[in-house]
Structure 1
């Protein structure tokens, strides 16, 4: 694939405390690129002066896009309509990257069938692994409870190699725009977040695209930088409960109804005692259920890494 236009979208939501470290780090990685890279900070209605800071301190290097609608599930599409990149990268505002991050992350797109490439995500300490190659057992329900992360494959991978994975983190990834648009983009039923990345990756596999992890493209994630600054634990648990249930039902309702109902009845009873916010999220998911576009998860084929 001939790559001419690459955009890196830094998703920001009250991330002022991270930007003085993160932005110089991104610009350093940009200098190593042998292709055109434009860095855009998508600001989702921040109230901490993030947008003003970037406009003042990085007026030439970073473009600021102030989202029309609050929430990155909407604002990314707003940018894509105007920018029309060949490849776009999505980056959390609370992470740093290796100097060769962009160069390595885009290598898999030489294969025309690759739609999404994800980074090797570690924690802020640059040691602790967080994602790895994700493997899924589609024959067990609920899907979210039967994911495994293979870190050995990542550690043993040769430089330049990329690995098949069920999904990647959209906090550090690259996506082919044409593939993204053909898949219909992010499913906004997961607004304001959680599970939207898993969902798009599985839809990519369903349409015979490839989703890969690139071990040599490393990012170092603080974790929850925006969410924790805006919401308390109760709101976060509510959103997670709702999104995870919707994800499981979307992919397994057709063939695992009994298992899902049994699991969530027990989980609801337990959560009402130990984690009521999560339980409320489960109830709230019912309001969005009529809009779900159900899939047949066990028909999705993800090849094993040899």
Structure 2
């Protein structure tokens, strides 16, 4: 049984220069929330002076160091499984919290079916919204992962459901996160793992929320990635999208998805986008791992006595949104 409070887990890779801009705001928001707290930072084999800086300037932070670079999911899982409090706050190292950030999130956990809640993500230097609630966009058997929405009517007072909680900032119930086994580490090094975790939660009958009044600010990178780096990112992203479908679609649905994937692959070859082919090849090499992930969830769902399909999750959220004018972006 976890103690009542908040455990903050921050994965870090070469974030030394970000810490002075973010950590003071994390502690301010925690001090304002009125609950006990701890901060755990898991360093993913940084090559800068991150670990030294933290140990010298923030002795109250528990610093855990990976011996090798492992990627987002394994790194944040390592910290999350050390958490001692009943609420687990997952936070990227490039996100700054507003002082009242937790005030509006904590009441959601009065409801036993709450898995977690995320806040509004704005630009670092202005109020432009980067991330809102996530819309359940599913076209046929294809899951769309990056559609944001907000209710049109302001101020937003109602509880807003979100298809998934952003991995950049999400407050979740520790017990439920652990029961799910955390983020699926086959998605390492990055992308789609937050959607997939939230989908497992929804399929077990739990609810993910978006709270518009809780604001944080994200510092986007201004560096221009090389073409080879962009291709690598695209390859991992599309591989992980295939993982998502393989784990959560029925075998029949995945067959139709694979047919659609084959047609898209031909189009990408014609347009010389070979990263798409590479993504499929990486999936084929790891398809047995996907089957293991699928079976693990099926076993968990059988024990829980609840297993909604992807379409049932979508319909449940859409039913909740019926009659509410929305703005998508």
- Range of TM-score over shorter length: 0.7 to 0.9
Are residues 150 and 32 of structure 1, via their aligned partners in 2, closer, same or farther at CA, if it must alter by over 3 Å? same
Match of 1:142 in 2: 142
Select 1:200's aligned residue among 174, 197, 202.
197
Match of 1:214 in 2: 211
Select 2:288's aligned residue among 267, 287, 290.
290
Instruction: Check whether the contact 1:142–1:252 (CA below 8 A) recurs between aligned residues.
Output: no
Rounded to whole Å, the distance in 1 between the matches of 2:256 and 2:185 is: 26
Rounded to whole Å, the distance in 1 between the matches of 2:278 and 2:73 is: 22
Within a 5 Å distance, the mapping from 1:77-156 to structure 2 comes to 77-138=77-138, 140-144=140-144, 148-152=147-151, 155-156=154-155
Does residue 221 of structure 2 align to residue 188 of structure 1? no
Q: Tell me how far 1:156 sits from its aligned partner.
A: 3.5
Instruction: Check whether the contact 2:238–2:276 (CA below 8 A) recurs between aligned residues.
Output: yes
List per-residue Cα deviations over 1:129-185 (Å, max 9, x = no partner).
22322222446231127x642223585412xx5311111201100111111122232
Are residues 155 and 149 of structure 1, via their aligned partners in 2, closer, same or farther at CA, if it must alter by over 3 Å? farther
Match of 1:43 in 2: 43
Does residue 83 of structure 2 align to residue 67 of structure 1? no
Rounded to whole Å, the distance in 2 between the matches of 1:225 and 1:64 is: 28
Aligned length: 300
Name which of structure 1's ranges 7-16 and 80-89 shifts more when overlaid on structure 2: 80-89
Q: Tell me how far 1:55 sits from its aligned partner.
A: 1.3
Does residue 223 of structure 2 align to residue 260 of structure 1? no
Match of 2:33 in 1: 33
Within a 5 Å distance, the mapping from 1:236-251 to structure 2 comes to 236-251=233-248
CA RMSD of aligned residues (A): 2.8
Match of 1:299 in 2: 312
Name which of structure 1's ranges 115-124 and 170-179 shifts more when overlaid on structure 2: 115-124
Q: What SS does structure 2 have at the residue aligned with 1:83?
A: coil
Using the size of structure 1 for normalisation, the TM-score is 0.87
Runs of at least 5 residues in structure 1 that lack an aligned partner in the other structure: none
Select 2:274's aligned residue among 242, 255, 276.
276
List per-residue Cα deviations over 1:103-126 (Å, max 9, x = no partner).
322221111110111121223233
Using the size of structure 2 for normalisation, the TM-score is 0.81
Rounded to whole Å, the distance in 1 between the matches of 2:144 and 2:17 is: 32
Instruction: Check whether the contact 1:234–1:277 (CA below 8 A) recurs between aligned residues.
Output: yes
Rounded to whole Å, the distance in 2 between the matches of 1:19 and 1:102 is: 20
Name which of structure 1's ranges 72-81 and 83-92 shifts more when overlaid on structure 2: 72-81
Instruction: Check whether the contact 1:195–1:247 (CA below 8 A) recurs between aligned residues.
Output: yes
List per-residue Cα deviations over 1:174-220 (Å, max 9, x = no partner).
11111112223211221112111111111111111111111111111
Instruction: Check whether the contact 1:144–1:244 (CA below 8 A) recurs between aligned residues.
Output: no
Q: What SS does structure 1 have at the residue aligned with 2:195?
A: helix
